[in-house]
Amino acid sequence: MATSPTSSSSMSSITRTLPDCWGHRGASSRFPENTLASFEAAMRDGAEGIESDVHVSADGVVVMFHDPVLDRVTDSTGRIKDQNWNGENGLQHVRTKKEPKQAIPTFAQAIELLMRPENLHVKFNIDVKADNDPTRLFTLLHETISAQPDYLTLLAPRIVLGLWHPRFLTPAKTLLPYCRRSYIGNSTRIARKYFWRECDAFSMSFGALTTADGVRFRQECKSAGKNLMVWTVNQPDHMMEAVRWEVNAIITDVTKTWLDLRSALQVDYDKTGAQYGRGFLWTTLRFYTPFLILRSRVTLKDLENKAGPFDDHAPSSEEAVPVVVEAVAAALVETKA
């Protein structure tokens, strides 16, 4: 958590702790996503953390890239896992479509950036996509991480492995035991059933935390001392809502927007917070519970198509705590809190 301002409007000694700022694929609203330029911009803005994604090339190089294919954001095409990094036609020559054109960074280059003296405070959330091979990926990550001087004290405590699928839990514990783990997703049910015991943090979609069960989940995380991060929060009124939820970190494409709002809250929390209402929770279709349930089911189907059934990796019943049954019918009528 970032800062502990005092509310000047009430002239009281009330101390508030505001969420950290994590750059979603860096400062990706201003620079090409998942590039060194984007990471550096977020750090210069003052972000406490960076979120990025990993895939592995055919010749075993871990690259920072969101999609499994190159087409959406680069001047090339095809699947990353089918292409070499090295060579005349290698991924090292690919450039982004968005200006200023940038190369795809490797994981090693991202770690080098994090190890610069001026960046030793910055945390790194590695979003592990479900179409990766966990053993291969985590072995390669370990090789890079462990090659850094004093990595157990200077680097490992700053890395969070973000996991979508429970297939990745055991390999993560075995091959990267020094890294903290988080669940990434949009389902509080999945978070509880498959990840609760094994994760220090939960990186949840903003919408998943707006429901009645999302309220309960926020309370459970707070009671259990679990860190709670929320993504991808780009609108100031959504940011203010996340502040009210007392989350630990806001993951955003617009790092400067959140940092500017946070600075204003430090000066006068009450006056600044009063500018942002909560009506969007009831007037925005994507925050309606039936829509959110459908979205989580679509996500689950996609993840299981990529990495197999979740139940193949289910914890024992005593491990899956807290046990909370999502009462869908009740959630439809409960008031958002």
pLDDT tens column, 6-28 = 444 443 446 789 999 999 999 99
Q: Among residues of the chain, what percentage have pLDDT more than 70? A: 89
Q: Note the helical H segments in the chain.
A: 36-45, 107-114, 134-146, 151-154, 169-175, 188-190, 212-224, 236-245, 255-267, 269-273, 280-283, 289-307, 328-333
What are the Cα distances from residue 111, in Å, to 39, 155, 156, 188, 253? 11, 9, 11, 31, 21
- Look at residue 8 in the predicted model and tell me its pLDDT: 45
Which of helix, strand or coil describes residue 72? coil
- Look at residue 13 in the predicted model and tell me its pLDDT: 45
- Sequence-distant (6+) residues with CB within 8 A of 112 are none
Tell me how far apart the alpha carbons of residues 166 and 193 are, in angstroms, rounded to a whole number: 10
Angle between helix axes 107-114 and 36-45 (nearest 10 degrees) is 20
CB 161 within 8 A of CB 181: yes
What is the rounded average pLDDT for all residues in the chain?
A: 92
- C-alpha count within 13 angstroms, C-beta hemisphere, residue 334: 17
Which of helix, strand or coil describes residue 323? coil
By the 10 Å C-beta count (0-12 exposed, 13-18 middle, 19+ buried), 152 is classed as exposed
Which of helix, strand or coil describes residue 217? helix
| Rg, C-alpha atoms of the chain | 20
Q: pTM of the full predicted structure? A: 0.91
Q: Note the helical H segments in 94-187.
A: 107-114, 134-146, 151-154, 169-175
- Look at residue 314 in the predicted model and tell me its pLDDT: 85
Q: Is the pLDDT of residue 244 over 60?
A: yes
Tell me how far apart the alpha carbons of residues 1 and 24 are, in angstroms, rounded to a whole number: 17
Average pLDDT value for residue range 38-45: 98
- Look at residue 319 in the predicted model and tell me its pLDDT: 54
CB 169 within 8 A of CB 162: no
pLDDT tens column, 256-271 = 999 999 999 999 999 9
Q: Is the pLDDT of residue 335 over 80?
A: no
Average pLDDT value for residue range 29-39: 98
Q: What is the CATH number of domain 20-333?
A: 3.20.20.190
Average pLDDT value for residue range 71-98: 98
Tell me how far apart the alpha carbons of residues 50 and 180 are, in angstroms, rounded to a whole number: 15
Tell me how far apart the alpha carbons of residues 23 and 27 are, in angstroms, rounded to a whole number: 5
CB 265 within 8 A of CB 236: no
- Look at residue 2 in the predicted model and tell me its pLDDT: 57
Structure tokens at 237: 């009124």
